[in-house]
Chain A
């Protein structure tokens, strides 16, 4: 029962939980979101480019990522990245990659598939006439994309991109399977060290809930503000 709920174990581990765990989680989320949006936008552009080969490769990658569980992808990259590193640097043995870069590459590559679906919808939401107008003005593909299509696509899709980032924030807890010290990993380490599973896991749930709930509340308010009235 909850009669011997011990708050002191939470209080005494706060510096570790937030100073190390939450910093890791937030850094990973922010960097993976930025990287994921950039790669995702490129994937969406490739998929809509109509270039034979490029379209299929982008589509295949996105569909593959979307049909695999994140846990499996985390394991894939954890073992694959050292080999890719060795290949890129021309070394003969797999290079040692730190846990953080490995997790970062995983989340960037995996979330890029989801961000690319959002950006594809965003690019398609821009009327064809605008692209045609930009081309009539003599802009090339990159100028059209960079000056006309993408700025509007980002604006239209901003709420969805942020919602996906909240999902990403929750998903980063899965680096637990690599025994990394993100917020959940830190909570679980304290829980096992002190035998205080009930306190630590309930506290972790409360913290995640508070952050994600207020973040999605802010996204909903933002959505109302950035909505372009047509």
Chain B
């Protein structure tokens, strides 16, 4: 095997002229985290809304929820990314389309919106499963107490459902974080894209990818640890 290992490459100046290769990777890491967090906010609230729609005692609401989930789950993320980035600005009225195209950091905003809507369909499935896992008596008890539908969800069903689905929601969060790498196809300079450009500039393929791998594993461990603490902090004392 004649591969020239050079682990000190990380401290060499990158050809971009501001900092070392390590700085380049870390800036990619920050973009990855920023994209993941921003899109998660959309995904969490929209997904909760859609998930609730699917459990409401109303046929049209169920249909809207189901249609949303089926639409966003059955189109590959890459295709959705291209639809938001290339197609959406052309389809909306020209004035708005031009404004979108001139946005600074357009790949970032596109990736956030695209991942938010995509992950929302997965979050919706978890929220629905969580609500349906609750005993039927809880909804009835809420109604018997004179709660409106909104109040039943807000004070009875959702607080319990979120506690049940915390573990699968953690893995959806991690999936969302990993999916940010698909945004490199529309030019977002996140961690995988930075590892790839480091490889192109320096020819140190395996060092670059090893560093990216380690960084991804570290974020995963941090998120899993944080989720364990969150689960403990949110647990209702005495339950189970």
Contacts and interface: CB of A to CB of B under 8 A. Distances in A.
Nearest to B218: A67
A172 to B, nearest CB: 8
Interface in A52-96: 64, 67-72, 75-76, 79-80, 83, 86-87, 92-93
Contacts of B77: 170
Contacts of A69: 178-182, 192, 216
A202 interface: yes
Interface in A180-201: 184, 188, 191, 197-198, 201
Interface residues of B, number: 41
A141 interface: no
Contacts, number: 110
A36 to B, nearest CB: 18
* Interface of A (DSSP majority class): helix
A47 B187 CA distance: 39
B209 A72 contact: yes
Contacts of B185: 176-177
Nearest to B2: A92
B213 A72 contact: yes
B206 interface: yes
A67 B74 CA distance: 23
Contacts of B75: 170, 205, 208-209, 212
Interface string A93-117: 1000000000000000000000000
Interface in B77-98: 77-80, 82-83, 86-87, 90-91, 93-94
A38 interface: no
B78 A174 contact: yes
B195 interface: yes
B226 to A, nearest CB: 15
B212 interface: yes
B150 interface: no
A68 B195 CA distance: 13
Interface residues on A, range: 35 or more
Contact of A72 (B70, B91, B192, B206): B192
Contacts of B87: 197-198, 201-202
Contacts of A93: 2
Interface string A202-214: 1011001100110
A71 B79 contact: no
B106 interface: no
A197 to B, nearest CB: 4
30 contacts: A1-B91, A1-B94, A67-B216, A67-B217, A68-B178, A69-B180, A69-B182, A70-B178, A70-B181, A72-B213, A76-B209, A92-B2, A171-B76, A176-B78, A177-B184, A184-B76, A184-B78, A197-B82, A198-B86, A198-B87, A198-B90, A201-B79, A201-B82, A205-B79, A205-B83, A208-B75, A208-B76, A213-B70, A213-B74, A216-B73
Q: Which 7 A-B pairs have the closest CB atoms?
A: A69-B181, A212-B74, A170-B76, A69-B178, A67-B220, A71-B181, A173-B76
Interface of A: 1-2, 64, 67-72, 75-76, 79-80, 83, 86-87, 92-93, 170-171, 173-174, 176-177, 184, 188, 191, 197-198, 201-202, 204-205, 208-209, 212-213, 216
